């Protein structure tokens, strides 16, 4: 195949003159720098000669490449991730023991009849507050009134007999002086007077018993408090001292809270106090806080009223009792509660937020500590007990160290970070308020938000 004189088979483009090639090199160098000039020179060495539209297309492509190279930004250095940290500070921490307990009424009275009869009236409102001595039931008293009248008559008869025998004894005393009667008659008269006096005493006692039974026909409240449901209705027959109570009255202000503590825990606590790890709490200042079954705290504090001295054989526990005010009647007998009992004081304690602790497959706890150069270091720790949302540190950390609590998804051990101090107390208080959004630190913010900032 024959080619034209100005056509090169390798370039497939028209050939340039030497003068035009040099001109293109100078133009490329002026526009894009030495690299474009070298490119133009290489095309010249291939013997390519550009003409027409091919020349214009090549110039446009070179200019576009130079523009992209000039506009490309220099890759910025990767910023250090922000993480939330807390600085450990020593503090005197009161150690509380949470013990299961149950409320008991301060006073409880089961109302039972002391005489037999038919219930005529119920004189109280079920569930209401009653006072001591307030009438509760009325029993039919007809038979009791008759018994009282009979006792009155018997007493009058005995007193009349006593007066007669007394007068006879006085006369016999004068007659025996002149030997008008025998000594035997005189002594029998004196004995009859003593016997009549005894009969009068018995009659008086019977009358008092009849009056007491008549009073018992009106059943009264033995104590003040809140009264329960009635187990009988008017018309029911009741008997004296029956096993079934008619109703129950409970006095609920104050209230008792009975709870138990393991003897093993008590022995371990005494050992810790003796070893100096904890300080002993003064027994006269032990205040007991109550936590209700729904997890809320009872607003009134109580005092420890009794500590058991005998361990239960079957459960291995000691019984303790607290006396708790109940002015609002919120506590009711039989409720299950948690008693928070202060047992010791931990001086210079370090509290670690629970969210900062991670555990491996064996359950061993560890935390990430921001060192002085802001580099994260994984640190194994020993934890003693949970105190609310924190752990009591036993070993592994020192006061003043910064522990990572937020931003775990953006950093790992060995990374250099930008620590941001987090106020855990303010964060917890804000989250505890209903309707309030959670506190968001800079370490919690999404990546898009932080880049916009």
453 residues of the chain, pLDDT tens digit each: 444 444 444 444 444 444 455 545 555 454 444 444 444 444 444 444 434 444 455 544 545 555 554 444 444 556 888 888 888 888 887 777 788 889 999 999 999 999 999 999 999 999 899 999 999 999 999 999 999 999 999 999 999 999 999 999 899 888 888 888 888 888 888 999 999 999 999 999 999 999 999 999 999 999 999 999 999 999 999 999 899 999 999 998 899 998 887 777 777 767 766 665 555 555 555 788 899 988 888 999 888 887 767 777 777 788 888 899 998 889 988 899 988 877 777 777 888 888 889 898 888 999 999 888 888 999 898 888 787 788 888 888 888 889 998 888 888 888 888 888 888 776 666 655 555 554 444 444 444 334 333
Q: How many residues does the chain have?
A: 453
Instruction: State in Å, rounded, how far the first CA of the chain is from the last one.
Output: 68
Longest dimension (CA), the chain: 198
In this prediction the pTM is 0.56
C-alpha span between 395 and 382 (Å, rounded): 5
Q: Are strands 382-387 and 287-291 parallel, antiparallel or unpaired?
A: unpaired
**Any residues with CB less than 8 A from the CB of 347 and at least 6 apart, and which?**
92, 279
Which among 59, 57, 65 has a CA at the least distance from the CA of 24? 59
């Amino acid at each position: 195949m024959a080619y034209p004189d100005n056509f090169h088979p390798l370039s497939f483009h028209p050939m340039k003159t030497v003068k035009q090639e040099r001109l293109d090199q100078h133009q490329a160098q002026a526009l894009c720098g030495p690299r474009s000039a070298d490119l133009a020179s290489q095309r010249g060495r291939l013997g390519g000669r550009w003409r027409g539209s091919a020349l214009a297309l090549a110039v446009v492509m070179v200019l576009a490449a130079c523009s992209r190279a000039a506009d490309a930004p220099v890759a910025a250095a990767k910023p250090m991730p922000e993480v939330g940290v807390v600085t450990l500070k020593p503090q005197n921490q009161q150690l509380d023991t949470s013990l299961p307990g149950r409320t008991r009424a301060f006073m409880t009275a089961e109302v039972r009849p002391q005489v037999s009869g038919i219930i005529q009236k119920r004189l109280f409102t079920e569930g209401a507050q009653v006072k001591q001595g307030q009438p509760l039931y009325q029993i039919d008293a007809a038979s009791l009134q008759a018994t009282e009248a009979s006792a009155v008559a018997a007493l009058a008869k005995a007193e009349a007999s006593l007066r007669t025998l007394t007068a006879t004894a006085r006369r016999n005393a004068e007659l025996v002086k002149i030997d008008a009667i025998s000594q035997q008659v005189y002594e029998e008269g004196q004995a009859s007077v003593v016997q009549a006096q005894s009969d009068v005493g018995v009659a008086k006692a019977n009358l008092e018993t009849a009056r007491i039974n008549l009073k018992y026909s009106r059943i009264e409240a033995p104590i003040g408090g809140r009264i329960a449901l009635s187990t009988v209705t008017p018309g029911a027959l009741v008997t004296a001292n029956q096993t079934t109570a008619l109703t129950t009255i409970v006095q609920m202000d104050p209230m008792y809270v009975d709870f138990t503590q393991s003897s093993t825990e008590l022995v371990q606590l005494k050992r810790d106090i003796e070893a100096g790890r904890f300080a002993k709490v003064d027994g006269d200042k032990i205040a007991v806080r109550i936590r209700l079954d729904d997890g809320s705290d009872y607003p009134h504090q109580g005092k420890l009223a009794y500590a058991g001295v005998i361990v239960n054989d079957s459960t291995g526990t000691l019984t303790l009792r607290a006396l708790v005010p109940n002015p609002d009647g919120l506590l009711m007998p039989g409720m299950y509660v948690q008693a928070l009992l202060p047992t010791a004081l931990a001086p210079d304690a370090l509290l670690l937020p629970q969210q900062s602790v991670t555990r491996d497959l064996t359950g061993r706890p560890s935390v990430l500590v921001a060192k002085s150069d802001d580099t994260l270091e994984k640190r194994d720790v020993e934890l003693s007990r949970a105190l609310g949302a924190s752990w009591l540190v036993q070993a592994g950390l020192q006061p003043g160290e910064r522990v990572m609590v937020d931003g775990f998804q953006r950093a790992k051990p060995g990374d250099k970070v930008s620590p941001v101090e987090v106020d855990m107390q303010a964060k917890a208080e804000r989250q505890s308020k209903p309707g309030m959004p959670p506190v968001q630190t800079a370490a919690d913010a999404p990546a898009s938000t932080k880049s916009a900032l």
